[in-house]
Amino acid sequence: MVEDETPREQPMQHLVDSVQLAEHLTSLADELVGHYVDQARDEGASWAEIGKALGVTKQAVQKRFVSRRVPGDSKALFTRFDDEARAIVVDSMTLAREGGHAQVTTGHIVLALIADDANRVACALKSGGVPIDRVRTAIIEGLGPGQDDLPDHLPWGPDSKKALELSLREAFRRQAEMIRPEHILLGVLRDKTSLGGKALTDHGADRRKIASSVGE
């Protein structure tokens, strides 16, 4: 596979290509395992049961699949976003700054996702009986008042980093080449304790139904 891409007389290029291929396969393998961990959790499996199946402790599996963060080089992740999803990321950052908030949260992500009541995400939520306006109000109240003195670069909060990483997994399980806004929505809904996830689920958002409506 490596030698198919370059002539046999280029061993150094083969070395570079093999490292890149190994990294890519490792990433795919991690996403594959994550997909089935999510599936097991959806079916009611406990973290202890999943850990036993993987041959690790409950704490180890939780650390790997619950507390994972977007890789330090987030550029690799963002290259997988389509134009609409990238616009959501940018709009989330803009909303956080305009609101005077010190970090970008899932609340800002959801506000960006439902900014247009006629887009696919808003329509999927409304078809599931979710009142968009009430979700928007709940998030704005949850974000609270802003502050004047903000850093030049607003960091992403742990919840929003987790949601964006999970959006990659949602795209992977649907065999989608690019991450779309609906995958970001499903990533947010994976964490019902975050501001955005809680606002959605408190107002009737059902992740499974929404997943079906956007192509489970």
Strand-pairing partners, residue 104, are 156
φ and ψ at residue 81, rounded to 5 degrees: -80, 140
Any residues with CB less than 8 A from the CB of 156 and at least 6 apart, and which? 70, 103, 104, 164
Say whether 104 sits in a helix, a strand or coil: strand
Structure tokens at 32: 């594959």
Residues 104-160: tens digit of each pLDDT: 999 999 999 999 988 989 999 998 899 999 999 999 999 999 888 887 778 889 899
Whether the model pTM is above 0.75: no
**Domains of the chain with bracketed CATH:** 11-65 (no CATH), 75-213 (1.10.1780.10)
- DSSP annotation of 129 reads T
Residues 7-45: tens digit of each pLDDT: 455 555 555 555 555 554 555 566 667 767 777 877 788
Mean pLDDT of 73-79: 57
Q: Is the dihedral of CA 203, 208, 197, 191 positive or negative?
A: positive
